[in-house]
Amino acid sequence: MHRFYVDNEKILDDKIIITGPDVNHIKNVLRMKPGDELIICNGQGKDCYCIINKVSDREIETHIKSIQETETELPVKITLFQGIPKSDKMELIIQKAVELGVYEIVPVMTARCVVKYSDAKKEDKKISRWQAISENAAKQSQRGIIPKVLPVMSFKEAVLYASGMDLKVIPYENEKGMSATKDALSGLKDCRTAGIFIGPEGGYESSEVELAKEYNIIPISLGKRILRTETAGLALLSMMMLTLEM
């Protein structure tokens, strides 16, 4: 069944009004008509199972048949703190992280980041592009929320932002063995929030890892092989998804 997202104010008692670009998609691309069914999500974990009442050029009016909690969300809100990579790798990382269940994504400017954002307008445009990718990935994977891509933070700002989270880990190539990784993930089910820090192509400087430790961010290993930045976060998210959904 096709899935669409609306703001809460569009949900009116027993009906929902869809406006904007989705109208053209429903009417002209999917060629849906009165009587057809669809799922409309408020982006906060509620799925409304609806039937279309009216179709016009400006809006789609639907009747709510039932409302259910979305069953596709992880029980822990996981924030991905991603060191900004080169090229369009961030787009791939966001897409796959959303598919794997991440709650939000924070682009982080670390010491070894090659990409620099000195122009606020360019940064805003990039964040908007990344947010659109998150929304499309959420629709494809039938998420109950649209994970938010936050503005770019410095490493220190990211560490402070994560300070109140229940579990925080930072994969680091100098860590040996998977025992710390296993121990950290073993307590994941008792958490409400978690943060994972992934460095850019050049990894983290030792001073950044030391700062992370001061804020109780646990250095862990992801195995004997060195993973690319676009692989590391997805590997760790996959481990966390398996832990939480078993």
Q: Which two tokens stand for residue 204?
A: 């983290």
Residues 106 and 219 in one domain: yes
Instruction: Print the SS3 string covering 68-116.
Output: EECCCCCCCEEEEEEECCCCCHHHHHHHHHHHCCCCEEEEEECCCCCCC
pLDDT in the model for residue 87: 82
pLDDT in the model for residue 7: 84
Distances (CA, A) of 78 to 4, 22, 223: 23, 29, 21
Distances (CA, A) of 166 to 3, 76, 170, 190, 241: 32, 10, 14, 9, 17
Residues 30 and 126 in one domain: no
Residues 154 and 211 in one domain: yes
Residues 111 and 178 in one domain: yes
pLDDT in the model for residue 191: 95
Residues 64 and 90 in one domain: no
Residues 156 and 90 in one domain: yes
Asked which of 26, 42, 69 is the last residue of a domain, the reply is 69
The number of domains in the chain is: 2
pLDDT in the model for residue 202: 85
pLDDT in the model for residue 97: 97
What does the alpha-carbon distance between residue 6 and residue 62 come to, in Å, rounded to a whole number? 12
Residues 179 and 103 in one domain: yes
pLDDT in the model for residue 54: 93
CATH number of the domain to which 11 belongs: 2.40.240.20
What does the alpha-carbon distance between residue 158 and residue 120 come to, in Å, rounded to a whole number? 19
Rounded to two decimals, the pTM is: 0.86
* β partners of residue 195: 79, 168
Residues 6 or more apart whose CB falls under 8 angstroms from that of 12 comprise: none
- Domain containing 17 equals 3-69
pLDDT in the model for residue 241: 93
Positions in the chain whose pLDDT score sits under 50: none
Q: What is the DSSP letter of 25?
A: I
